[in-house]
Amino acid sequence: MNSQNEAVLTPEEQILITRLKSFRVPEMANTLAAQLKDPNADLNTFMERISAMVDSEWQSRANKRFNRLMKEAHLRYPTADLDETIYRPERQLDTQTIERLSTCHWIEEGKNLIVTGSSASGKTYLINAFCVTAMRQSNSVKYIKANTLMSEMEQARIKSTNLDYLNKLTKLDLLVIDDFGLMDLDLDKCRDLFEVLDTRDGRKSTVVISQFPVSSWFDMFSDNTYADTCLTRITDKHHTYRLEMNGANMRNTD
């Protein structure tokens, strides 16, 4: 039984709420119901009330979309964010570049990013923070280690599902390949890597994270031709940003 002080919706108001829910805007319906039960709701303007309804629906959908994208991204650090640690002098970071990259405008432009530096310098955590921001802007993301990517491409090739797998990677707004250099690149895997990079080149953004300097990447490939074609697509200075991280070991900090 309703308490004396709890407002009850009229039949006409119930019908309106039901119709809104039938339009698949449940949060708008819930917000309207709350307004109709609030004796002080009329103190707000029409624009304030309709804005509250629209905002609640928009936020609900944004949260659902973000959660779905997060589940599919497989981030190593799903709660990563840019905090004050990037400004610690011992990290020796280019904070101005990091701040600009954190806007994720480069993802909208389909540009790439190479992050190199010493082990445990926080490369993966930083890029995961960028990934979280990108997903909040409705960009699809996938984080994967280079060795895992090569293994999955190989398995897809064996099962003759490589085109389907490649298409999924191609559609991603942001693909992050971590631990580049810690993988075997025989001829078949050179070809696989080329296919991944070529289908995204100039259209979608790819991040490559490595503890090895770019100058040593050529020697990682078993085939010189594929080395040239792959590196051309991910190191072009007109289409790829770079970030060096050679500061303090973050695993030894509190």
- Please write the tens of the pLDDT for every residue from 202-229: 899 999 999 999 999 999 999 999 999 9
What is the distance between the alpha carbons of residues 180 and 216, in angstroms, rounded to a whole number?
11
* Tokens, residue 9: 């919706």
**Looking at residue 6, what is its pLDDT?**
64
pTM of the entire structure? 0.85
**Looking at residue 222, what is its pLDDT?**
94
Compute CA distances 83 → 56, 125, 129, whole Å. Answer: 28, 11, 10
What is the distance between the alpha carbons of residues 70 and 135, in angstroms, rounded to a whole number?
7
* Tokens, residue 87: 């400004």
Give tens-digit pLDDT for 171-182: 999 999 999 999
Q: Other CB atoms closer than 10 Å to residue 53's CB: what's the count?
A: 19
What is the distance between the alpha carbons of residues 191 and 213, in angstroms, rounded to a whole number?
22
208 with 180: CB under 8 angstroms?
Answer: yes
Edge-to-edge order in the sheet of strand 112-117: 141-145, 174-178, 205-210, 112-117, 240-245
Q: What is the DSSP letter of 94?
A: -
What angle, rounded to 10 degrees, do the helices at 187-200 and 146-158 form? 100
**Looking at residue 1, what is its pLDDT?**
44
Q: How many helices (H) and strands (E) does the chain have?
A: 10, 5
What is the distance between the alpha carbons of residues 165 and 159, in angstroms, rounded to a whole number?
11
Residues in the chain where the model's pLDDT stays below 50: 1, 3-4, 254
